[in-house]
Amino acid sequence: MTANLFLPVSVIGYVVAIFTATLRTVYRAEGARRATSVLLIVTWLAHCGAVVQQGLRIGRVPLTTGAEYLLVLGWVVLSLHLFLWFRANVEVSGLVLPPLAGVLCFAAMQLLGVHPARPDAPADGWFLLHTTISTIGMATLCVAFAMSVLYLIQDRALKAKRTLALLGRLPSLGRADQLGHRALVVGFVLLTIGILAGVIVTAEDAERPIEVGAKQILPVLAWIVFAIVLGARALLGFRGRKSAYLTIAGFVLGLATVVGMTL
Amino acid sequence: MLILVGSNHRSAPIEVRERMSFPIERLPEALTRLRAIDGVAEGMILSTCNRVEVLAWVVIEPASGIDSIQRFLAEVHRLSLPEIDRYTYQLVGTDAARHLFAVACGLDSMILGEPQILGQVKQAYRAAAEQGTLGPTLDRLLQTCLQTAKRVRTETGIARHAVSVAFAAVELGRQIFGELAGREALVLGAGKMGDLVARHLAAHGVRSVAFASRTYTNAVLHAERVGGRAVPWEEGVAKVGQVDVVVSCTGAAHQVLSKADVVRAMRGRKRGPLLLIDIAVPRDIDPRVNEIDDVYLYDIDGLQNLVASNLEERRNAAEEAKRLVVREVQAFERWRLSQEITPVIVALREGLLALGQHEIERFRGRFGEIDAKQLQVVEELTRAVIQKILHRPLRHLHGAVERGDVAECTALYRQIFALSETAASDRASGAPPDEAAPPGPNRVIRGGRDGS
């Protein structure tokens, strides 16, 4: 088996980029901003290379095992961060999303050798839709999570009357809320489609007994939490700190599903 | 030589600054008069509410240039020379350039880093350019200065945050809502500070400002002054949950908004967070209101702490800005010195080439029969020899900028090669060098309470 050389390069890229992003946030150094942007683009390319190499190795979209899922999820999370940074000018999400993507990439690197590829896994149809949509949906929910975390940090800083220099490093509450809400709406729709596609995949496989375990229950619980957040917002104007906490809770449930999948 | 004669909020009281200012309509005439002064090659006048500064490039002794400009100021403003001398500072050479850069960057302003001064320097530059009183040196100086000021504003934190209580309130609003456009504000009470905050909020896009005062006529008065609308006191208090920003500045001896009031106001609210600014002493709003979810309460101390930390940040940024200014002034000074050696280089090269041509003509009869092509070869040979001979002296001359001995070096070259000063100056695009001036930066301070 050929080693995926892109993976260690990606992990090193994440570590250095997170370091420069922290320098940028703390000292507002312009050089650190430029360095972070270059490093993250290089890391994105390396991570992309790792995904492609894994796909070539197994001869299909690399979403057949938990390790591959982590690999692709990390890459989509980083892609969304770069999109947020360069299109929506939200640089500070660099403190949450790249570390998350880096952890996912590192976990994938550790697990790829342990988890053998599943050549028997369905290669197309509902399974592919289920895995692809769920991955993109989970990555979008990572953005909602990041915005909720930043919202809570900003909220705490405002309540504690921190200096404007510190507050200015974070997105405004309004911006974090708006971006988080958008990400949550998109993530919720994708999660819904992903769950429905998963139900169809299970139903199609007549020989396989219907399982009801954490892997099935946790995403439904996460879906319920997100539905409550969105419904309460639409009907009752529910937003702010409580909404941020609930979004984080929903994300943790989703993440628990991912972790459960890889164990 | 660059000279600057000026008066600012530190060197002169407001009565003198008022008399010394140049109204915009009188500026063209004043610039023409300035340029007409003997020895003044280029000039610009910066006149703002806090300073009047005359910047000139003179081709005479700096001290004479300063005297002439002081006389000019005395005549224009009908002040005595001793008065002018007492209330102005005079800077020469690099010090003048550094001062100009510091002014444009807001480093010399009453409020450190204030942004208006950059626009005023630009305006003064435009006025001088339109009046034709700028030449290559001041034009280059001012362009470099404006670019540096822009860099200072974008690369340092000198103008990043508010340094007034009213503007700090606006910044807080931005930190909470992102944009203030379309938001609604309510002012409780009839304090002047409330008006000021309301004005700032309105200027930053707040859609409507309602004023509520226990005396309704006061609310009407303030609403008319600021451009909002007046509401009765009870209606105003009831509106707290329906607006985004509440500014409270009543003179009441007791609290006008309790925690229970705000909890009630937030119930069923769909607008998102609520910012409460309490600038009254004694405070109008129960401090425990800050404990309520999505409610942010700032009192006068909180706002002043923000302003103080911002000022501290500006002071730190000012140090960084000063370093940037020093670098840019040095770069300008190198350019200016290189302009001083250019006429010498031109004169030296042209003189030797003319000499070579002359010698070719003189010896041409002795060559015998030579055709045009052979003559061309002889000319090229002569030019090549001259270029080779000039190589080291010219490199030494260029090195004078870095060594800081441009004046001595150019004088020596003129003497050795018997170069004509006027011929060189005529050919040079820059201003003529001031041979008599002492080398390096110079500074003359006479009068003025503070010449820094």
Could you tell me the sign of the dihedral formed by the alpha carbons of A161, A166, A168, A174, in that order? negative
Residues of B with Cβ-Cβ distance to A175 under 8 angstroms: 178
Residue B449, pLDDT score: 39
Q: pLDDT tens, A190-236?
A: 999 998 988 888 787 766 666 677 777 888 899 999 999 999 888 88
Do A62 and A131 fall into the same domain?
no
Burial of B14 (0-12, 13-18, 19+ CB in 10 A): exposed
Beta strands B184-188 and B245-248 are: parallel
Closest partner CB to A168 (pick from B160, B176, B271): B160
Task: Determine contact: A169 vs chain B, CB below 8 A.
Answer: no
Do A130 and A189 fall into the same domain?
yes
Total of domains in chain A: 2
Last residue of some domain: A119, A134, A164?
Answer: A119
Token readout for B148 is 């540096």
CB contact under 8 A, A164 and B269: no
Residue B34, pLDDT score: 94
Inter-residue long-range contacts of B336-340, CB under 8 Å, 24+ positions, other chains counted? B336/B137, B336/B140, B336/B430, B337/B400, B337/B401, B337/B406, B338/B398, B338/B401, B339/B136, B339/B137, B339/B428, B339/B429, B339/B430, B339/B431, B339/B433, B340/B406, B340/B407, B340/B410, B340/B430, B340/B433
Residues of A with Cβ-Cβ distance to B168 under 8 angstroms: 164
Residue B429, pLDDT score: 42
3-state class of A80 per DSSP? helix
Do A253 and A150 fall into the same domain?
yes
- Any idea what DSSP says for residue B248? E
CB contact under 8 A, B310 and A173: no
What's the per-residue H, E or C state across B181-243?
A: CCCEEEEECCCHHHHHHHHHHHHCCCCEEEEEECCHHHHHHHHHHHCCEEEEHHHHHHHHHHC
Task: Determine contact: A55 vs chain B, CB below 8 A.
Answer: no
Distance from the B166 Cα atom to the nearest Cα atom in chain A, whole angstroms: 14
- Report the DSSP beta bridge partners of residue B246: B186, B276
Provide φ and ψ at A31, rounded to 5°.
Answer: -60, -40
Do A139 and A260 fall into the same domain?
yes
Token readout for B443 is 């500074």
CB contact under 8 A, B309 and A164: yes
Closest partner CB to A174 (pick from B157, B172, B176): B176
Considering only CB atoms, which residues of chain B are within 8 Å of chain A? 155, 157, 160-162, 168, 171-172, 174-179, 268-273, 290, 293-294, 296, 298, 302, 305-306, 309-310, 313
Residue B313, pLDDT score: 82
Scan for tokens 């009188």, then name that residue. Answer: B26
The enclosing domain of A169 has a CATH number of: 1.20.120
CB contact under 8 A, A240 and B178: no
Closest chain A residue to B290, measured at CA: A159
> What is the crossing angle of helices B216-226 and B192-203, to 10°?
40
What's the per-residue H, E or C state across B161-198?
A: CCCCHHHHHHHHHHHHHCCCCCCEEEEECCCHHHHHHH
- Highest average pLDDT, of A12-16, A109-113, B340-344, comes from A12-16
CATH 2.30.42.10 fits B165-308, yes or no: no
Q: pLDDT tens, A144-184?
A: 999 999 999 999 999 988 876 667 778 899 999 999 999 99
Q: Which of residues 120-149 of A touch B (CB under 8 A)?
A: none
Q: How far apart are CA B104 and CA B186, in angstroms?
A: 38
Do A82 and A133 fall into the same domain?
no
- B252-268: burial string, b at 16+ Cβ within 10 Å, e else: eeebbbebebbeebbee
Do A172 and A243 fall into the same domain?
yes
Residue B268, pLDDT score: 74
Beta strands B208-213 and B184-188 are: parallel
pLDDT one digit per residue (tens) for chain B, 452 residues = 899 999 998 898 888 888 888 988 889 999 999 999 999 999 999 998 889 999 999 999 999 999 999 999 999 999 999 999 999 999 999 999 999 999 999 999 888 888 888 999 999 999 999 999 999 999 999 999 999 999 998 888 787 777 778 888 888 998 899 889 999 999 999 878 888 889 989 988 899 999 999 999 999 998 998 888 999 999 999 989 999 999 999 888 888 999 999 999 888 787 789 999 998 888 899 999 999 999 999 998 888 888 888 888 888 888 989 999 999 999 998 888 888 888 888 888 888 899 899 988 888 878 777 888 888 898 999 999 999 998 998 899 888 888 888 888 888 888 888 876 654 444 444 443 343 433 333 334 444 433 33
Do A6 and A126 fall into the same domain?
no
Neighbours of A246 (CB within 10 A): 18
CB contact under 8 A, B174 and A172: yes
Residue ranges with strand state E in B83-192: 89-92, 184-188
Residues of A with Cβ-Cβ distance to B176 under 8 angstroms: 158, 172-174
Token readout for B184 is 């609604």
Residue A103, pLDDT score: 94
Q: How far apart are CA B93 and CA B333, in angstroms?
A: 9
Q: Which range is least confidently modeled, A5-14, A252-261, B235-244, B289-298?
A: A252-261
- Report the DSSP beta bridge partners of residue B232: B213
Q: How far apart are CA B66 and CA B139, in angstroms?
A: 20
Neighbours of B37 (CB within 10 A): 16
CB pairs under 8 A between A and B: 73
Under 8 Å between Cβ of A7 and A48: no
Provide φ and ψ at B106, rounded to 5°.
Answer: 80, 10
Distance from the A6 Cα atom to the nearest Cα atom in chain B, whole angstroms: 36
Q: pLDDT tens, B436-447?
A: 433 333 334 444
CB contact under 8 A, A178 and B178: yes
Domain extent at residue A102: 1-119
Token readout for B185 is 């504000």
Cβ neighbours for A172, distance < 8 A, ≥ 6 positions apart: A154, B174, B175, B176, B177, B178
Scan for tokens 């490039």, then name that residue. Answer: B57
Distance from the B165 Cα atom to the nearest Cα atom in chain A, whole angstroms: 12
Do A131 and A242 fall into the same domain?
yes
Do A217 and A145 fall into the same domain?
yes
pTM: 0.69
Q: How far apart are CA B372 and CA B176, in angstroms?
A: 84
Closest partner CB to B290 (pick from A154, A159, A175): A159
The active-site residue, picked from B49, B105, B249, B409, is: B49
CB contact under 8 A, B313 and A163: yes
DSSP output for A178-209: HHHHHHHHHHHHHHHHHHHHHHHHHHH-TTSP
Do A46 and A137 fall into the same domain?
no
Closest partner CB to B293 (pick from A164, A237, A241): A241
Residue A209, pLDDT score: 67
Give ∠ CA A8-A9-A12 in degrees, rounded to 5: 85
Do A115 and A135 fall into the same domain?
no
Closest partner CB to A172 (pick from B155, B176, B269): B176
- Domain spans of chain B? 2-135, 165-308, 331-427
What's the per-residue H, E or C state across A2-44?
A: CCCCHHHHHHHHHHHHHHHHHHHHHHCCHHHHHHHHHHHHHHH
Cis peptide before B28 (omega within 30 of 0): no
Residues of B with Cβ-Cβ distance to A237 under 8 angstroms: 268-271
3-state class of B55 per DSSP? strand
CB contact under 8 A, B177 and A237: no
Give the best residue of A161, A233, A242 to mutate against chain B (max B CB count within 10 A): A161
Instruction: Give the rounded distance of the alpha carbon of A184 from its chain centre.
Output: 12
Under 8 Å between Cβ of B68 and B171: no
Task: Determine contact: A178 vs chain B, CB below 8 A.
Answer: yes
Known catalytic residue at B49: yes
CB contact under 8 A, B298 and A161: yes
CB contact under 8 A, A158 and B160: no
ipTM comes to 0.83
- Report the DSSP beta bridge partners of residue B230: B211
- Report the DSSP beta bridge partners of residue B45: B54
Do A177 and A91 fall into the same domain?
no
Residues of B with Cβ-Cβ distance to A173 under 8 angstroms: 175-178, 272-273
Q: pLDDT tens, A21-66?
A: 888 888 777 788 899 999 999 999 999 999 999 888 888 888 888 8
Give the best residue of B175, B176, B316 to mutate against chain A (max A CB count within 10 A): B175
Give the best residue of A173, A242, A245 to mutate against chain B (max B CB count within 10 A): A173
Cβ neighbours for B154, distance < 8 A, ≥ 6 positions apart: none
Under 8 Å between Cβ of B245 and B183: yes
Distance from the B83 Cα atom to the nearest Cα atom in chain A, whole angstroms: 44
Which class is domain B2-135?
alpha beta
3-state class of A212 per DSSP? coil
